Amino acid sequence: VQLQESGPGLVKPSETLSLTCIVSGASINSHYWSWIRQSPGKGLEWIGHIFYTGSTTYNPSLKSRVTISVDRSKNQFFLRLTYVTTADTAVYYCARGARYTQPGDYWGQGTLVAVSS
Amino acid sequence: DIQMTQSPSSLSASVGDGVSLTCRASQGIDNYLNWYQQKPGEAPKLLIYAASSLQSGVPSRFSGSGSGTDFTLTITSLQPEDFATYYCQQSFSTPLTFGGGTRVEIK
């Protein structure tokens, strides 16, 4: 199982951060699929997940700005974070997990996203 | 949210030493507790899930114990590749939350 994040490394304040997680070696039609971020100031923070049924759960701290979606035909899932600020600068990871192992028994390598004008 | 508190925040040990890292949850989480190892520039790696189950491929010198609010990760006979930061994380309820980490350094 391999996961790979992709997306812009630089986003301007107030704009939208959009990332893709490309999944190989496993079908996205099972398990939980999460986004997690890590910044020096806040450690590891779970952003939210999408269950294979399509049900989503978000961290209340980000809920008003986050959308996680999936494209089953491409075996990919996505993160959209609106109205970003410098506080959203972090390494963003995607991960796959089950009920006990969520957010992840398999993680992507991570992608650094900087928010700056 | 469930708060996860790890102690110590860092420790120094030598190759061959045994160490124990602790994690406390702010409320009972049964055995929904995971341990991760992270090295600089890498993603976290799952070591232990369900408090005491060893993830496939992880060496048997790693073990986990505990239930409810108090948990322990034990590493017997530290190897050079074990020097890293270790995080606990609860999967009992959302939002999933992580501890602040314990950094294991070479003495």
Task: Kindly report, residue by residue over A85-115, the tens digit of the pLDDT.
Answer: 999 999 999 999 988 889 899 999 999 999 9
* Interchain pair B91, A43: CB under 8 A: no
Residue A41 has pLDDT above 70, yes or no: no
* Interchain pair B91, A61: CB under 8 A: no
pLDDT of residue B101: 97
State pLDDT tens for residues A67-79.
999 999 999 999 9
Chain A residue numbers with beta carbons less than 8 Å from the beta carbon of B87 are 43-44
B27: phi then psi, degrees, rounded to nearest 5: -150, 165
CB nearest B95 (choices: A46, A100, A108): A46
| Shortest Cα–Cα distance, A93 to chain B (Å) | 8
Chain B residue numbers with beta carbons less than 8 Å from the beta carbon of A61 are 95
Asked if residue A99 lies in contact with residue A34, where contact means CB atoms within 8 angstroms, the answer is no
Ranges under pLDDT 70 in chain B = none
| CB pairs A-B closer than 8 Å | 54
| Shortest Cα–Cα distance, A34 to chain B (Å) | 10
Concatenated DSSP letters of B32-64: -EEEEEE-TTS--EEEEETTTEEPTT--TTEEE
Share of chain A above pLDDT 70, in %: 99
